[in-house]
Amino acid sequence: MTIIELRNTFRDKLKFSTNECDFLYKVILKDLCELDPIKIALDPNFIVDKSSEKLILTSLDRISANYPIDYIINKKNFYGYDIYVNEDVLIPRPETEELVEWILDDNINITKTKKVIDLCSGSGCIGIAISKENNYMDVTVSDISEKALEVCNKNKINLDSSINVIKLDLNSKYSSQIKYDIIVSNPPYLSFSELDSIGENVKFEPDIALFAPRNNPLHFYEKIFEFALDNLNKKGQVYLEINPIYIEDFKQLLSRFKLNDVNFRDDFRAKKRLVKVSF
């Protein structure tokens, strides 16, 4: 098939706008087939070789079935860094970039090393971005999932990052000899009751990354505060992404832990999704 026929097949088969179909087609051409999308305009009758054609049509079938494009191309841009992703990790979200931005802004003028731990790190996107952007940030990323840690290590190598990667189960008590100055986390925070309201494409992401156990969406926040009591320096900060639906329950949890130096921030969708807790 020619490059333009394949483009038209994308437009015919996908239920998206023409612009969205073209965008997805160009991503597949560029990132999977190493073909320059400019050919669509400059050489529309260019014959795509059989193996690329197969890749393009298989990708089209997967996109039609709501499979995320980021898993197809194994890549998601996060804070300017191309993060490798596969089905073992959550696809980094733009609202999480705002959490990174907050930490970087608060520490723009530091002149001494700060120890940072990213709990529930998934792909390692948060920790990698922070350490790449500020040389004073000595960052450890941690997750329970061995497969997620493999992805972290791959990203560490690909992006020439200095992060430490460790396995850490938040459900087990953890007392490190190192005390951290900053804890950051975007833990699993959905409850199974929200299953019907999440997008079809989200269902391809790992359950362990999405859902809090025991149907308690605040489970990991409790664990993170317990971790902070044992492992955070006095006057340290905890930066979290939270589920805006459970904001009132989250506030009750803060009072239970007697935490009252708290700042909430809206994300770019005007949802209360980011919080900084100073200990």
Ligand X SMILES: C[S@@+](CC[C@H](N)C(=O)[O-])C[C@H]1O[C@@H](n2cnc3c(N)ncnc32)[C@H](O)[C@@H]1O
Nearer to ligand X, 143 or 267 (CB): 143
* Residue 170 lies near ligand X (rule: CB under 6 A): yes
* Residue 120 lies near ligand X (rule: CB under 6 A): yes
Among 40, 137, 148, 218, the residue binding ligand X under the rule CB under 6 A is: 148
CA distance 14 to 65: 10
Chain centre distance of CA 136 = 23
* Residue 263 lies near ligand X (rule: CB under 6 A): no
Nearer to ligand X, 10 or 211 (CB): 211
Of 11-19, 35-43, 143-151, 153-161, the window that binds ligand X (rule: CB under 6 A) is: 143-151
Among 37, 68, 188, 217, the residue binding ligand X under the rule CB under 6 A is: 188
Residue among 133, 105, 98, 131 nearest 116 (CA): 131
* Residue 183 lies near ligand X (rule: CB under 6 A): no
Helical segments of the chain, H only:
3-13, 18-27, 39-42, 50-64, 69-73, 94-106, 125-133, 146-158, 207-210, 219-231, 247-256
Among 122, 159, 231, 250, the residue binding ligand X under the rule CB under 6 A is: 122
Nearer to ligand X, 4 or 73 (CB): 73
CB 278 within 8 A of CB 232: no
Residue 90 CB, shortest distance to ligand X, in Å, is 4
* Residue 85 lies near ligand X (rule: CB under 6 A): no
Q: 204-240 b/e with 16+ CB inside 10 Å = b?
A: bbbebbbbbeeeebbbbbebbbebbeebbeeebbbbb
Residue 48 CB, shortest distance to ligand X, in Å, is 34
CA distances from 230 to 60, 183, 190, 221 (A): 49, 12, 26, 14
Among 68, 92, 217, 236, the residue binding ligand X under the rule CB under 6 A is: 92
Helix (H, G, I), strand (E, B) or coil at 255: helix
Helix (H, G, I), strand (E, B) or coil at 115: strand
* Residue 144 lies near ligand X (rule: CB under 6 A): yes
Among 131, 145, 155, 161, the residue binding ligand X under the rule CB under 6 A is: 145
Contact residues for ligand X (CB under 6 A)?
89-90, 92, 96, 120-123, 125-126, 143-145, 148, 168-171, 186-188, 208-209
